[in-house]
Amino acid sequence: MKSLLLASLTAGLALGLVTRAAAQDDDARAQARQHFTTGVARFEAHDYQGALEQFQEAYRLAPHPSVRVNMANCYEQLDRPLEALHHYEGFLAESENPTPQQRREVQAAIRRLQGQLGALRLVVAPDGATVTIDDAETRRAPILTPIMLERGTHTLVVSADGFVTARQQVQIAGGDTQRVSIRLERGEDTEPAVASAEPEPTEPLATAEPDPIPEDEPAAYGAEGEGMPAEGGPGWSFTLSAPVVISGIATIVFAAAAITTGVLALDFNDQYEAAVVRVNSAPNEAERAIAREEGLSAADNANTLSILTDVFLITTIAAAGATIFFVIVDGMPGDDDDASARRGPDLRLGGGVTPEGGGVSLTGRF
């Protein structure tokens, strides 16, 4: 495949070097032609690095899209698929009238290389943080477009002033998109430091018996326990009847469902916005079509989940209202003890005052 591409484009390049460099002097044209010829010879001798350098110089002296294919062939042989893909796509973008054979061969090479590469979508906080990939490529948050990487393990280092540097390894699969979220933690201590020295000894606090409560004054303690309100005293009681329990559980379940679908809807909305950015910044129509399809799918999912969220919210409100209704009805006065026992456990919420302070207590009868 690679030799066929090289041979089929050599003749076209020779003509292109002449037509595109017509305005250049004879010496520059001769140098470009010589570098290209030397590059072909080195490629056939399996000196791919040397061939690449010659093709790069020929392209610099007399730019022609066909030279990009030769450089892409070299990068493939050097096991650098990302650079190879860049030059294959550059050939299709710069070529005005490629032959059908050239277009088929280059498109096949692009599909082959895309299987060796994966996309990394990074969500980094805070904005302005520096992301270094494999100690080489550097980006700055927010990163709005996916990063193309070779399949395999890659190391990410995220840093920002005033934050703890994060290091994370990600596994990239060929032809897939990996989403990674990294949120840096602030470097300042959020809790007071603990002294390393032993605390100085202190005098024990004096204790005294509390003053007895005069018999002619009402006790501040409940009759059923210290700090608890007395039976029939201030407070509010309700019964855990079956309707209260069922409607309460339904309220919790529907609220959890609303939160889950709401979070998923926001995530799909983020994917849709990212796809819009990719459509506007894609270098070719193939990537734009992929981004457009992913954006439409994300938008449909976001819309469906938003509708479900609204339904769950309405159901949560209705269930919460039913719970309150049953609590009020079952807590109305006039029921005897036997009826309360038949309905379920009776809980009592009230307040109490003690010599040390006040408090709220919950008592029950089962």
- The CATH number covering residue 146 comes to 2.60.40.10
pLDDT of residue 204: 44
The verdict on residue 323 lying in a domain is yes
pLDDT of residue 282: 72
Structure tokens at 72: 């892409």
Task: Let me know whether 82 and 124 are in one domain.
Answer: no
CB 360 within 8 A of CB 285: no
Rounded to whole angstroms, how far apart are CA atoms 118 and 152? 9
Closest CA relative to residue 189, chosen from 214, 152, 164, 172: 164
pLDDT of residue 328: 78
- Domain edge (last residue) among 94, 114, 134: 114
Task: Let me know whether 256 and 268 are in one domain.
Answer: yes
* Helix or strand run (H / E) with residue 125: strand 117-125
Helix (H, G, I), strand (E, B) or coil at 347: strand
Q: Tokens 């990719």 label which residue?
A: 278
* Cross-strand partners of 133: 137, 156
Alpha helices, H only, the chain = 2-20, 26-44, 48-61, 65-77, 81-94, 100-114, 242-281, 285-330, 337-343
pLDDT digits (tens), the chain, 366 positions: 444 455 444 444 444 444 454 555 678 778 988 999 999 999 999 999 999 999 999 999 988 898 999 999 999 999 999 999 999 999 999 998 889 999 999 999 999 998 889 889 999 999 999 999 999 889 999 999 999 898 889 999 999 999 999 999 999 988 888 899 999 999 864 343 333 334 334 444 444 444 444 444 444 444 444 444 444 445 555 566 788 789 889 999 999 998 999 899 898 888 888 877 777 777 777 777 887 888 888 888 988 998 999 999 899 999 898 888 877 776 555 544 444 444 555 555 555 555 555 554 555 555
pLDDT of residue 12: 46
Task: Let me know whether 89 and 23 are in one domain.
Answer: yes
CB 252 within 8 A of CB 243: no
DSSP state of 220: S
The verdict on residue 360 lying in a domain is no
- Could you tell me the pTM of the whole model? 0.43
Q: What is the layout of strands, in order, in the sheet containing 166-172?
A: 137-140, 130-133, 152-159, 166-172
- Phi (first) and psi of residue 37, to 5 degrees: -60, -40
Cβ neighbours of residue 35 closer than 8 Å, sequence gap 6 or more: 54, 55, 57, 58, 61
The verdict on residue 32 lying in a domain is yes
Rounded to whole angstroms, how far apart are CA atoms 80 and 71? 11
pLDDT of residue 332: 56
State how beta strands 166-172 and 117-125 pair. Answer: unpaired
pLDDT of residue 253: 92
Phi-psi category of 182—alpha, beta or left, where left has phi over 0 and alpha has psi -120 to 50? Answer: beta
Cβ neighbours of residue 272 closer than 8 Å, sequence gap 6 or more: 295, 298, 299, 302
Structure tokens at 29: 């044209």
The verdict on residue 219 lying in a domain is no
- Domain edge (last residue) among 114, 138, 164: 114
- What is the total count of domains within the chain? 3
- Other Cβ atoms closer than 10 A to 296: 12
Q: Tokens 């039976």 label which residue?
A: 231
Domain with 32 in it? 2-114
CB 38 within 8 A of CB 4: no
The verdict on residue 204 lying in a domain is no
- The CATH number covering residue 99 comes to 1.25.40.10
Cα three-residue angle 56-62-68, rounded to 5 degrees: 45
Cα three-residue angle 51-115-95, rounded to 5 degrees: 55
- Domain edge (last residue) among 136, 154, 183: 183
Task: Let me know whether 83 and 140 are in one domain.
Answer: no
Q: Tokens 């390393």 label which residue?
A: 196
Cβ neighbours of residue 343 closer than 8 Å, sequence gap 6 or more: 239, 241, 330, 335
CB 122 within 8 A of CB 147: yes
Task: Let me know whether 7 and 74 are in one domain.
Answer: yes
pLDDT of residue 216: 47
State how beta strands 117-125 and 177-183 pair. Answer: parallel
Task: Let me know whether 98 and 151 are in one domain.
Answer: no
The verdict on residue 257 lying in a domain is yes
The verdict on residue 222 lying in a domain is no
pLDDT of residue 361: 52
CB 261 within 8 A of CB 312: yes
The verdict on residue 214 lying in a domain is no
Task: Let me know whether 143 and 86 are in one domain.
Answer: no
